[in-house]
């Protein structure tokens, strides 16, 4: 089945202690769409300016991503510039130019409205809600979010949480949203806000799924060297949703392996600047790391 | 087979946001010995003063711990007082009174010298080395350490690492010791210092074993509520060594399950002040949490 992915499509200029790379393909929807494309057909909704490099359109197409929903507007593409510290754990934003993204309205092409799997990648919760307004009873909806929306759009985020099946946030966001330090308490509090499935990301420490069938403690695929962590979280949730859309059987039976596949795609993402490494991964390489994670966790 | 445990035996006065408990049973060897006793016979080496409460000697005995090596000296028992912050992640030392521990020399009773499993719980590396000087070819030696020794006894610690099979340290200590931020690189660097088995503790994020047979990513048994984390790390390594001593077959085949059992005993430790909860755990309760961890990690 197909997965609809809505989020930001951008250009990222990234500085690390080792290098400085301008105008890479970026944005939550770009990373998520590439990650999902290994497992299922992807439909993208986003907006770019007329300056958006043709080579990135070709990259989307090489991944079989349906671009009917990608709006190309007069003006400049959303541009983010950031810099990482030595240990890659902290980054700071150097510049944000919204460009055509400032007035983005994620209006769905009619053909997209019955897509069974919907990933609301990280954008303003009001826009995420606007997508759901246009959908005809999707099978499974997951939303990703970030601390910014907890600070400036909490009301809209809380309204969105009531309308989705699963939410993905990182540890500090879960604690911030619920005012609970303990992760199990935080997950329980988030269930009360709506989502049946709560996934808390913990970076290199893996992730935690809280679901009706119990907890799942997922490992991360540890790397000897991280080149650029930008987009790892988006790749994680994109891989997860792509895997679910491509798998047979009930959602909950597939969710654990979906999370593991998301982790593995995120690991490839961290091995190159922007999506340069994840976009060159093969399904066979992905399955090899999944097997390796099985070996690393069995006891 | 038996396990010899050498370390500190102390009284701890612990403040948390919820309570204030004076003169609990404390010390790295106390926690480790109680944890190990669920799985194998334990021989303890430590020192206490004449003020050491009889009820704590009874507690050791209830766990079948051999106290031939526990020295009782005129003077006061090592006393540590500390306070935890709201989230239990940080603690500060309020008071440290070394008492009879200041001149502690871990001299082994002759009957202890052939013990096959040796846990050098957290004490000064020179004392840990002194224990090994007295041993007759033990089967498996593991040492625990702490940041203090990295700062004030690095030379002795490096000498010790060449003489042991496995070492246990936490994430920040591994990074500090090796000047490597990346955990895989840090583990590799520690192997070069001597130990064949490197175990890096990550608190509620679990632990990582680096061994000739590959990596093992072990989960922690998450709790809804942590009462007092004091001694969790000592309980972890104690449970681990007790399990190894009690299991048949080659060390590496048992090490993963040993780590899981250590994690579970550590989880009980966190549920009460001092060892009050872990000392009341049953083997059946421990095995139930091990099974639960299997369920929480399978995919």
Are A297 and B297 in contact (CB < 8 Å)? yes
Cβ pair A168, A35 in contact under 8 A? no
Distance CA B146, CA B130 (A): 18
Q: How far is A36 from chain B (nearest CA, A)?
A: 19
Q: Give residue B73's pLDDT.
A: 98
Residue A290's SS3 state is: helix
Strand ranges inside B27-149, DSSP E: 42-49, 66-73, 79-84, 91-97, 117-120, 140-144
Residues of B with CB under 8 A from a CB of A: 86-87, 181-185, 202, 204-206, 208, 214-219, 222-226, 256-257, 259-260, 293-299
- Chain A's closest residue to B186, CA to CA, is A224
- Looking at residue A85, what is its pLDDT? 86
Q: Confidence class of residue B18 from pLDDT cuts 50, 70 and 90?
A: confident
Question: In the structure encoding, which two tokens stand for residue A41, read together?
Answer: 């057909």
User: Is pLDDT at B86 greater than 90 in this prediction?
Assistant: no
Low-confidence ranges of chain A (pLDDT < 50): none
Once rounded to an integer, what is the mean pLDDT over residues B225-247? 97
Alpha carbon distance A223, A261 (integer Å): 15
- The SS3 assignment for B263 reads helix
pLDDT averaged over every residue in chain B: 96
What pLDDT, on a 0 to 100 scale, did the predictor assign at position A207? 98
For residue range B135-165, what is the model confidence (pLDDT) as tens digits?
A: 999 999 999 999 999 999 999 999 999 999 9
| Residues 6+ positions from A154 with CB-CB distance below 8 Å | none
Predicted pLDDT at A27:
98
Residues of B in contact with A87 (CB under 8 A): 181
pTM, full prediction: 0.95
pLDDT value of position A18: 87
H/E stretch holding B257 reads helix B251-270
Å from A214 to nearest chain B CA? Answer: 7
> CA–CA separation, A76 vs A131, rounded Å?
23
Mean pLDDT, to the nearest integer, of B202-220?
Answer: 96
Coil, strand or helix at A140: strand
Task: Report whether pLDDT(B211) > 80.
Answer: yes
Rounded CA separation B127/B133 (Å): 10
Confidence (pLDDT) at B234: 98
The verdict on a CB contact (< 8 Å) between B299 and A216 is yes
Q: How far is residue A78's CA from residue B223's CA, in Å, rounded to a whole number?
A: 42
Distance of alpha carbon B65 from the chain centroid: 15
Q: Does B256 have pLDDT greater than 90?
A: yes
Q: Could B223 and A184 be called an inter-chain contact, meaning their C-beta atoms sit closer than 8 Å?
A: yes
Q: Closest Cα of chain A to B66: distance in Å? A: 31
Question: B181 and A87: CB-CB below 8 Å?
Answer: yes
Give me the residues paired with residue A70 across strands. A46
Structure tokens at B228: 């007092």
Q: B89: pLDDT confidence band, cut at 50, 70 and 90? A: confident
Contact at CB, A259 and B86, closer than 8 angstroms: no
Q: Do residues A144 and A237 make contact, with C-beta atoms less than 8 angstroms apart? A: yes
pLDDT recorded at residue A89: 75
Cα distances (angstroms) measured from residue A128 to each of A4, A118, A151, A242, B66: 12, 10, 16, 18, 64
**A27 CB-contact burial (10 Å; exposed 0-12 / middle 13-18 / buried 19+):** buried
Q: What is the DSSP letter of A134?
A: H
pLDDT of residue B85: 86
Tokens of A248: 């047979």
């Amino acid at each position: 089945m197909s997965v609809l992915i809505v989020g930001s499509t951008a250009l990222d200029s990234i500085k690390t202690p080792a290098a400085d790379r301008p105008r890479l393909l970026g944005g939550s929807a770009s990373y998520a769409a590439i990650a999902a494309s290994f497992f299922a057909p992807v439909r993208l909704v986003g907006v770019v300016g007329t300056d958006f490099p043709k080579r990135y359109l070709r990259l989307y197409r090489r991944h079989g991503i349906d671009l009917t929903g990608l709006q190309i507007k007069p003006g400049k593409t959303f541009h983010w510039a950031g810099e990482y510290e030595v240990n890659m754990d902290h980054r700071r934003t150097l510049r944000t130019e919204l460009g055509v993204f400032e007035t983005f309205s994620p209006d769905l092409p009619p053909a997209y409205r019955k897509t069974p799997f919907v990933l609301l990648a990280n954008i303003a919760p009001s826009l995420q809600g606007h997508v759901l307004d246009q959908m005809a009873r999707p099978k499974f909806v997951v939303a990703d979010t970030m601390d910014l929306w907890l600070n400036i759009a909490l009301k809209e985020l809380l309204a969105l949480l009531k309308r989705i099946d699963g939410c993905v946030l990182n540890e500090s966001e879960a604690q911030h949203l619920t005012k609970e330090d303990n992760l199990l308490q935080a997950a329980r509090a988030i269930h009360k806000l709506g989502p049946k499935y709560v996934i808390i990301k913990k970076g290199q420490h893996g992730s935690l799924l809280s679901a009706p069938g119990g907890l799942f403690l997922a490992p991360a695929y540890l790397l000897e060297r991280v080149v650029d962590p930008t987009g790892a979280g988006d790749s994680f949730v994109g891989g997860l949703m792509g895997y679910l859309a491509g798998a047979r059987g009930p959602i909950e039976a597939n969710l654990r392996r979906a999370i593991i596949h998301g982790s593995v795609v995120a690991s490839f993402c961290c091995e190159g600047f922007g999506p340069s490494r994840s976009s060159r991964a093969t399904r066979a390489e992905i399955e090899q790391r999944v097997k390796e994670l099985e070996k690393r966790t069995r006891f």
